[in-house]
């Protein structure tokens, strides 16, 4: 039983409410004993006996009986107050979630609103005190209970939640903006002046109306004006506080946008809330993000142009230099027929390589610009893949690579251009034959996943792959940095452009020396 009372959150909450109630009762009972018995004859002269009313129906008691009852209430409420307070102190460390939520809610309420609420309660209590007969204490006890509860919540906020009066006071915010030397031209200062003038004008109009149209005495009119002006001021200050937060946010955006104006595209504006101003901040961030992407792409393109010129120059110059050398040798020397035929074969190979390079450059250029026609038809991509592999059967047999091919046993259809897709397969298989490590396995798999056809080409690279997948797709990029192998460096770029123009997807995955190309097509029936 003891543990239920001491370590229970509900028990703590009930003890706290009882404590507030008992203090309220004790206060009223002590006040009655000290002040009301001297006025009993005045208030109750028309009755033989006074009324007594605490919680229940009025009871007729004599003065002696009434004094005895008051003393009894004082003693019992005092002892119960001590008991509740002692038990509450033992439950001090116990957390009451509901009470914590109420305290947290009050911590967000401005101090002026709390003061206005307390003032209204005190006014209502004073009205009940002056209008009720003596010993009629129920309303007074209720008001006491509410006021003590509010005071307790404020105390808890100040003690545990770092309740900063400056931050929680809209009056402080208002006058700090009004009197600040740094806010001479801000919207907040102009708004503060307008609100202050509005409050003063409304107070003057209220006073004149009360005096000249409602014929109320000066002192009473001033009291009414003061009361309404206080409420009106808090209302105006609340509106001002709400608007000043928005204007501060706009001012913050205005200041920080200069970072973007000065070229810092990585700077992001702070997004606060979910309204038109935060949407504006998001839009500005999206614009800067787009500009940053465009600038990065432009820098990348400039770098690629420089590399393209270097690589094209190298790839064109190598076969062209060989051709010129052999032609010069044939012109200036008298060789036998066999040597001449060997040189002619070499010239033919170099010329074919040069032609292939030029053809690839033109094809890549057309694909990039979209200036190429596609004949999209329903095609058995499984059959197309097998035909492509068969075309390279001699080269595969002559290589030291072990090709392992897995495809479905049935026809698999998709909407593609057969000739263009065959070129993709050709480029990928050529790359495998050129760049794979000797005596390794090559896996070419086709499988169905949901509504998609997945093709994967996997091989072990002969050279270290120190490039990112997206860099390998760049034009004139090769797997061998030394560029010792034949090739234009356009194969993957051409393959990706074809795949994208067929509304398919191509992904390159590099895991150490494992090189994997995954093609995804939409299956049709």
> What is the distance between the alpha carbons of residues 505 and 456, in angstroms, rounded to a whole number?
12
Handedness of CA 474, 479, 481, 482 (dihedral sign): negative
Q: Which residue has the tokens 């120059």?
A: 313
Report yes or no: 478 and 463 within 8 Å, Cβ to Cβ. Answer: no
Neighbours of 497 (CB within 10 A): 23
Token readout for 216 is 């109320």
Contacts of 321 (CB under 8 A, 6+ apart): none
Q: What is the pTM of this model?
A: 0.45
pLDDT by 10s per residue, the chain, length 525: 445 456 667 777 888 888 888 888 888 888 877 776 665 555 554 444 455 555 555 566 666 777 777 788 889 888 988 888 888 787 777 777 777 777 777 666 777 777 777 777 877 787 777 776 666 677 788 888 888 888 888 777 777 655 566 666 666 666 666 666 455 566 767 777 787 788 788 888 877 887 777 666 777 777 777 777 777 777 777 777 777 777 777 777 777 777 777 777 677 777 777 777 777 777 877 777 777 777 777 776 666 666 556 656 656 666 777 778 878 887 777 777 888 888 788 888 778 777 766 776 666 666 666 667 788 899 999 999 999 999 889 889 999 999 999 999 999 999 998 888 998 898 899 889 988 999 999 999 999 998 999 999 999 998 887 777 777 766 444 444 444 445 556 778 778 888 888 899 999 998 888 999 999 999 998
The per-residue pLDDT for 403 is 94
Q: Which residues contact 10 (CB under 8 A, 6 or more apart)?
A: 96
The values of phi and psi at residue 402, to 5°, are -105, 105
DSSP letters for 356-388: HHHHHHHHHHHHHHT-S----EEEEHHHHHHHH
Residue 406's closest CA among 366, 448, 376? 448
Token output for 115: 């003061």
Q: Which of 388, 464, 467 is CA-nearest to residue 421?
A: 388
**pLDDT score, position 445:** 95
What sign results for the dihedral spanned by CA atoms 448, 449, 450, 453?
A: negative
Which residues 6+ apart lie within 8 Å of 322 measured at CB? 346, 350
Q: How far, in Å, CA of 145 to CA of 461, rounded?
A: 83
Cα 514 from Cα 512, distance rounded (Å):
6
- Residue 244: the pLDDT is 74
Pick the closest to residue 329 from 344, 319, 316 (CA basis).
Answer: 344
pLDDT at res. 49: 44
How far, in Å, CA of 155 to CA of 157, rounded? 5
pLDDT at 475: 47
Considering just the CA atoms, what is the radius of gyration of the chain in Å? 45
Long-range contacts of 189-192 (CB under 8 A, 24+ apart): 191/240, 191/243, 191/244, 191/247, 192/240
Domain 373-524 falls under CATH 3.30.565.10: yes
Q: Residue 130: which residues within 8 A CB-CB, separation 6 or more?
A: none
Handedness of CA 433, 437, 440, 444 (dihedral sign): negative
How many angstroms separate the CA atoms of 35 and 37, rounded?
6
Q: pLDDT at position 485, please?
A: 46
Nearest-10 Cα torsion for 7, 13, 19, 24: 180
Element (H, E) at 60: strand 59-60
* Exposure string over 387-401, b if 16+ CB within 10 A, otherwise e: ebeeebeeebeebeb
Distance CA 243, CA 245 (A): 5
Residue 91: Cβ within 10 Å count: 20
- Predicted confidence at residue 130, as pLDDT, reads 74
Q: What are the percentages of helix, strand and coil residues in the chain, rounded to 5? A: 65, 10, 25
From first CA to last CA, the distance across the chain in angstroms is 76
C-alpha to C-alpha distance for 117 and 111, rounded to whole angstroms: 10
Q: What are phi and psi of 266, to 5 degrees?
A: -80, -15
DSSP code per residue over 210-236: HHHTS---HHHHHHHHHHHHHHHHHHH
How many helices (H) and strands (E) the chain has is answered by 17, 9
CA of residue 4 relative to chain centroid, distance: 44
* Centroid of chain to Cα 420: 44
């Amino acid at each position: 039983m003891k543990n239920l009372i001491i370590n229970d959150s509900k028990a703590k909450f009930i003890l706290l409410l009882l404590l507030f109630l008992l203090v309220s009762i004790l206060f009223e009972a002590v006040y009655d004993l000290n002040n009301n018995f001297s006025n009993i004859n005045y208030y109750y002269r028309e009755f033989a006996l006074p009324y007594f009313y605490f919680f229940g129906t009025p009871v007729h008691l004599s003065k002696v009986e009434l004094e005895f009852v008051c003393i009894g209430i004082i003693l019992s409420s005092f002892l119960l107050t001590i008991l509740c307070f002692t038990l509450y102190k033992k439950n001090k460390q116990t957390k009451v979630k509901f009470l914590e939520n109420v305290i947290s809610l009050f911590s967000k309420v401005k101090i002026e609103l709390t003061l206005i609420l307390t003032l209204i309660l005190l006014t209502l209590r004073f009205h009940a005190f002056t209008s009720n007969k003596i010993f009629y204490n129920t309303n007074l006890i209720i008001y006491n209970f509410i006021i003590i509860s509010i005071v307790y919540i404020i105390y808890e906020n100040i003690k545990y939640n770092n309740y900063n009066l400056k931050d929680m006071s809209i009056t402080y915010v208002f006058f700090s903006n009004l009197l600040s030397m740094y806010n001479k031209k801000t919207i907040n200062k102009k708004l503060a002046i307008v609100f202050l003038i509005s409050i003063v004008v409304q107070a003057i109009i209220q006073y004149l109306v009360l005096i000249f149209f409602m014929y109320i005495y000066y002192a009473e009119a001033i009291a009414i004006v003061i009361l309404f002006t206080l409420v009106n001021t808090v209302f105006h200050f609340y509106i001002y506080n709400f608007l000043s937060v928005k204007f501060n946010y706009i001012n913050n955006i205005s200041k920080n946008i200069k970072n973007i104006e000065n070229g810092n595209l990585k700077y992001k504006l702070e997004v606060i809330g979910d309204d038109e101003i935060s949407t504006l901040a998001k839009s500005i961030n999206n614009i800067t993000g787009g500009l940053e992407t465009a600038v990065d792409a432009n820098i990348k393109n400039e770098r690629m142009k420089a590399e393209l010129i270097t690589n094209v120059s190298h790839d064109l110059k190598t076969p062209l230099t060989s051709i010129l050398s052999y032609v010069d040798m044939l012109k200036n020397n008298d060789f036998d027929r066999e040597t001449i035929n060997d040189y002619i074969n070499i010239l033919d190979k170099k010329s074919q390589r040069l032609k292939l390079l030029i053809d690839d450059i033109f094809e890549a250029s057309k694909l990039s610009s979209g200036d190429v026609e596609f004949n999209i038809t329903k095609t058995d991509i499984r059959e197309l893949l097998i035909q492509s592999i068969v075309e390279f059967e001699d080269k595969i047999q002559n290589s030291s690579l072990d090709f392992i091919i897995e495809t479905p046993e049935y026809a698999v259809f998709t909407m593609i251009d057969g000739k263009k897709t065959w070129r993709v397969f050709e480029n990928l298989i050529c790359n495998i034959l050129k760049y794979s490590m000797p005596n390794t396995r090559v896996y070419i798999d086709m499988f169905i996943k949901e509504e998609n056809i997945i093709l994967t080409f996997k091989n072990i690279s002969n050279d270290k792959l120190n490039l990112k997948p997206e860099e390998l797709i760049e034009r004139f990029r090769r797997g061998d940095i030394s560029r010792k192998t034949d090739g234009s460096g356009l194969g993957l770029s051409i393959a990706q452009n074809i795949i994208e123009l067929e509304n398919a997807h191509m992904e390159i995955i590099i895991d150490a020396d494992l090189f994997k190309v995954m093609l995804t097509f939409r299956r049709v029936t």
